[in-house]
Amino acid sequence: MRHVSLLTIPCHSDIVFMEQKKRKNSTSYSRSFSHIPVCLPYTGSCPTCEAPAPPTYTMIRENSLFCKLIRIKSSSKALFDSFMKGFRPELQTCPCCGARGSCSIHAYYGRSLVDFIGGVPVRHSLCIMRLVCTCAHTHAILPDFIIPYSGYGLFFLLRVLAEYFLRLSTVERLCERFSITLSQLRRWLDLFRVQKEEWLGALSSIEASGISFLKALLTQAVYSDFASAFVRRFAKSFLQSHQNPAPYCQQVFGP
């Protein structure tokens, strides 16, 4: 049975939060996950207040990387189009009410995603599908190679991190090659180190170098197993820098 990680976010969609992010001048990326609340099942009301919850927007994290990442030769855009071509909305189960076959296509919204193809960064335009259930809740469909609230794809970030740890060039040339700023690179490195320690534990993280941890991710037989486990454990996706709007509820769900 395929497992799907469900990220329930009341009142906020992925694209709305992306626009909020653009208005921020700086963001702290080296925060721990100790403040994340315990995930609660959806009850129809916000877990942190007594007032009834408004209609819920759900980010459905679909597992799509059922192989080693080093074997993937396609672009993020090609993978996204291939995944969505075989996606069956009518077979989905609503994470809020639990009804199977009650979802239908509600709308689409656009978002961009930077990939690295042929030695240069390439910006793709993606059309994200949003489903609506008969219970009035809507759900955006995001395969796991799309990092929530980030304009850069998973493969792009992992490529940058790999070249940094392998010391293939100077930091300045690395930033120029990927068209990123030095401050952006530092934020990604801080985020990677924090999440590496959270996943491995403080002592094991000290013993494991950045490149060894990265190699383990790239050569894991089924990357989606790690991605799903990370979401279940920390209530956010791997390499996701921005916190999810609260209150929210997360659970692992098998359609």
The amino acid present at 41, given as its one-letter code, is: P
Domain membership flag for residue 254? no
Number of H helices, E strands in the chain: 8, 6
Q: With contact defined as beta carbons under 8 Å apart, do 7 and 101 qualify?
A: no
How many angstroms from the chain centroid is the CA of residue 156?
A: 13
Positions of E strands within the chain: 4-10, 56-62, 103-117, 120-133, 138-143, 249-253
DSSP classification of residue 244 = P
Domain membership flag for residue 255? no
pLDDT (tens, 9 = 90+) of the chain, 255 residues, equals: 444 443 333 333 443 334 444 444 433 333 333 332 223 233 333 333 344 344 455 666 667 777 788 778 888 999 999 989 988 888 888 878 888 889 999 999 999 999 999 889 999 999 999 889 898 888 888 888 888 889 999 999 999 999 999 998 999 999 999 999 999 999 999 999 999 999 999 878 888 999 999 999 999 898 988 988 888 888 788 998 887 665 444 444 444
Work out how many domains the chain is built from and give that number.
1
Domain membership flag for residue 252? no
Domain membership flag for residue 253? no
Which structural domain range is residue 95 located in?
4-241
